[in-house]
Structure 1
Amino acid sequence: MTARRTRLDDARWHWQHGPIDVVAQAEGDPAAVAEAHEAAWQRFATVLDELVGELPSLRRPVVGALSLRGPVARRMLQACAAARSAAPGRPFITPMAAVAGAVAEELAGFYQRPGVSRAWINNGGDIALCLAPDRSARVGLFSDLARFDPRDAGPLRLDGTFEVSAGMPVRGIATSGWRGRSLSRGIADSVTVLARTAALADAAATLIANAVDVADDGIARLPASQCKDDSDLGDIPVTVDVAPLAPAQVRRALDAGVQCAQRLQAAGVVHAVALACQGQWHFVDAVDPRDGVAHTGSSAFPGAASGAHNANLPERAACSAAHSAFA
């Protein structure tokens, strides 16, 4: 198995190596952008083998001491340890919960050079940003993978957008939910996290999505080992199906997720969070510097509404980064 790359256009590359699937995009001086792309590609080609070499340790729970060598592996551990220590009950998590964000973050570092005005590494929906001063990136969000039909050739109808500016303490965006690539213990359709780094966003999204849960006969679960042979979750039950639930049950599940998100925000792990489940939404907005308070709210499914401002998530329009667009 070898790493492969395909040029998508003058600004974007698609890189794939085993389970790692990245779109890298950058803007700025053409020579600087080309040098950054090449340096990031050279590093990309080594990441998978590096992680596979430490896979047994990366699949162990984040408790006690784990000895990890590689920079990506150490970043995964640090992010998951920080998220776990702040979450209610210090839940089960392994460093693998941050693998996509940590890889994206590693590659984004190669674009932090003169001549590159902005860049983003999208690793399966988990995003690391690189923004020069006074630059910004707008991210389009899509809330529920159940609505996505790959056969539809038309424009993707986004549920909302938000903008990340260079002055915000946000360089990572990640989404988790029970319909995504990874297994989830909760029932969230999507939990989208903005954080200081992509690895932190990835770990936090996993824990918050796990926390969006409620006891209900309409939720089907199986041991993770029956869903994926090599799952780091072992025999822990994971969600495999969720029937339409009573609105009050959905609210209870979202409230549990919000509690986790608020704890992570208070500890400085996350900047802002949007949670979606069966057409209901809840938001843990960025802390308002005027009063030091993180304001929360809830609403029905916002449909195609959108908005953006630099302080926090858009006004009741943020959704899931399961599919993302940039401008």
Structure 2
Amino acid sequence: MSATRHRLPDGRWHFQHGPMDIVIGADPWGPDGELAVALAHELAWTRFEPLLAELMAQWQVLRLPVQAGTACPLQGNVARRMWQACAPWADQTYITPMAAVAGSVAQELLACYARAGVARAWVNNGGDIALHLAPGQSVRVGLYADLARLQVQELMHGLKLDGAFEIAHTMPVRGVATSGWRGRSFSLGIADSVTVLAATAAQADAAASIIANAVNVAHPGIVRQPANSLRDMTDLDDLAVTVEVPSLPLEWVQRALQAGWQRARECQAQGLIAAAALVCQGQTRLLPMAAAAEPLSFEDNPLALA
């Protein structure tokens, strides 16, 4: 199946090819802004069309775990970006470049919009978002706590935000990513969602996967199965991934969130992420931005009060 695109009623573009499902928005700036945005959209489409084939050509390497202390064996901007985003965790856990694929693709397309005449742009690849913000610009990002509920609401066209936060040009954040056990990718943990803010979308994507895996406990009611028994083409081979989580006692949920929050704090201390929100069965742990950074602005967000 070839890549397709169509313009949405509000002016955004929808690109789709295989597992890549992308929505792109951009705002013009200045007298030549409309032309600049139109050109950026065309450049993004031109870059998008061959991307899936480029990645599939290297699938046998992309599915292998990143090895600490080794040179990147991949070719091309996107594949190499995926590998580099995952490399910081290679000596700590099992991680393949695929942990950063959605964010890396979004980041690649976003580069087409980093030009004069574009005030701001966002590339949303299935919930992993890359941002371009010109000086003085900001963007408001919606947050959904339960990935399973998001999928249902999306089908019903009745989306309801659990919260929202604003990212300004002055913040060290240009990437937002979410992971969880009921998302479109597998997870080793039990988080309903882990949303990460980082300097780039690729970094946010990899970190969200790592932190979501860490939101975990060994409760006997949690059902796990080998990833390769659930999907033929998976980079996780026979690792046990979460397929069912019962309602857990509060202390078990809090223990899982604490483990994930500790991993998030370690990531922040290493400069790998800016902030994170971890959600599991109605409970939330927030890791705010470091004191030296401009704080996030939460509006009407129950998660900020949890």
- The equivalent residue for 1:296 is none
Q: Which consecutive unaligned segments of at least 5 residues does structure 1 have?
A: 291-309, 320-327
Counterpart of 2:114 (choices 87, 112, 115) is 112
Q: 1:43 aligns with which of 47, 50, 53?
A: 47
Q: Residue 160 of structure 2: SS of its match in structure 1?
A: coil
User: Which residue of structure 2 lines up, in the alignment, with residue 91 of structure 1?
Assistant: 93
| Contact kept? 1:274, 1:318, Cα under 8 Å | no
Q: Secondary structure at the match of 1:118?
A: strand
What's the RMSD between the two structures over aligned residues?
A: 1.7
Within the alignment, does 1:314 sit opposite 2:295 as a pair? no
Unaligned runs of 5+ in 2: none
The 3-state SS of whatever aligns with 2:298 is coil
- Closer, same or farther in 2 for the Cα pair 1:288/1:315, shift >3 Å? farther
Task: Specify the alignment match of 1:295 in structure 2.
Answer: none
TM-score, normalised to structure 1, is 0.87
1:212-254, Cα deviation, whole Å (9 max, x unpaired): 0001011000001111111100000000000000000000000
How many residues of Structure 1 are paired with residues of Structure 2 in the alignment? 296
* Other structure's SS at 2:190 match: coil
> TM-score by structure 2 length?
0.93
1:22 aligns with 2:22: yes
The residue identity in structure 1 corresponding to 2:301 is A
Corresponding position of 1:163:
166
| d(CA) in 2 for partners of 1:223, 1:71 | 31
More helix by share: 2
Instruction: Specify the alignment match of 2:199 in structure 1.
Output: 196
CA distance in 2, matches of 1:40, 1:225: 33
Q: CA deviation at 1:142?
A: 1.2
Q: For the residues of structure 1 that align with 2:198 and 2:225, how far apart are their CA atoms?
A: 31
The 8 Å contact of residues 285 and 313 in structure 1, kept in 2 or not, is answered as no
Q: Per-residue deviation at 1:160?
A: 0.4
Q: C-alpha displacement at 1:118, in angstroms?
A: 0.4
Structure 2 counterparts to residues 167-178 of structure 1, below 5 A: 167-178=170-181
8 Å CA contact 1:286–1:313 kept in 2: the answer is: no
Deviations 1:242-292 (A, max 9, x none): 0000000000000000111011000000000000000100011100128xx
Q: What amino acid does structure 2 have at the position aligned with 1:25? A: G
2:212 paired with 1:209: yes
| 8 Å CA contact 2:147, 2:180 repeated in 1 | no
Question: Aligned partners of 2:133 and 2:204: how far apart in 1?
Answer: 17
Q: Which residue of structure 2 lines up, in the alignment, with residue 234 of structure 1?
A: 237
Distance in 1 (alpha carbons) for counterparts of 2:10 and 2:243: 40
Match of 1:286 among 285, 289, 292: 289
Structure 2 vs 1, CA of residues 102 and 194 (structure 1 numbering), >3 Å: closer, same or farther? same
Partners of 1:186 and 1:125 in 2: how far apart? 19
What is aligned with 1:73? 79
Task: Find the aligned partners of 2:272 and 2:297 in 1 and give their Cα distance.
Answer: 16
Aligned counterparts of 2:154 and 2:252: Cα–Cα separation in 1: 33
**Which deviations, in whole Å up to 9, do the C-alpha atoms of 1:151-192 show, x marking residues without a partner?**
874642211000000000000000000000000000000000
| Deviation of the 1:10 alpha carbon | 5.9
Report the Cα offset of residue 140 of structure 1. 1.1
Would you say the 8 A contact 2:165–2:299 is kept in 1? no
Q: What's 2:253 paired with?
A: 250
Task: Tell me, in whole angstroms, the C-alpha distance in 2 between the residues paired with 1:151 and 1:258.
Answer: 28
Write the distance in 2 (CA, Å) between the matches of 1:107 and 1:154. 26
Question: Are 1:102 and 2:108 matched, yes or no?
Answer: no
1:162, 1:318 within 8 Å by CA — same for their partners in 2?
A: no
User: Secondary structure of 1:78's partner?
Assistant: helix
Cα distance, 1:317 vs. partner?
Answer: 3.0
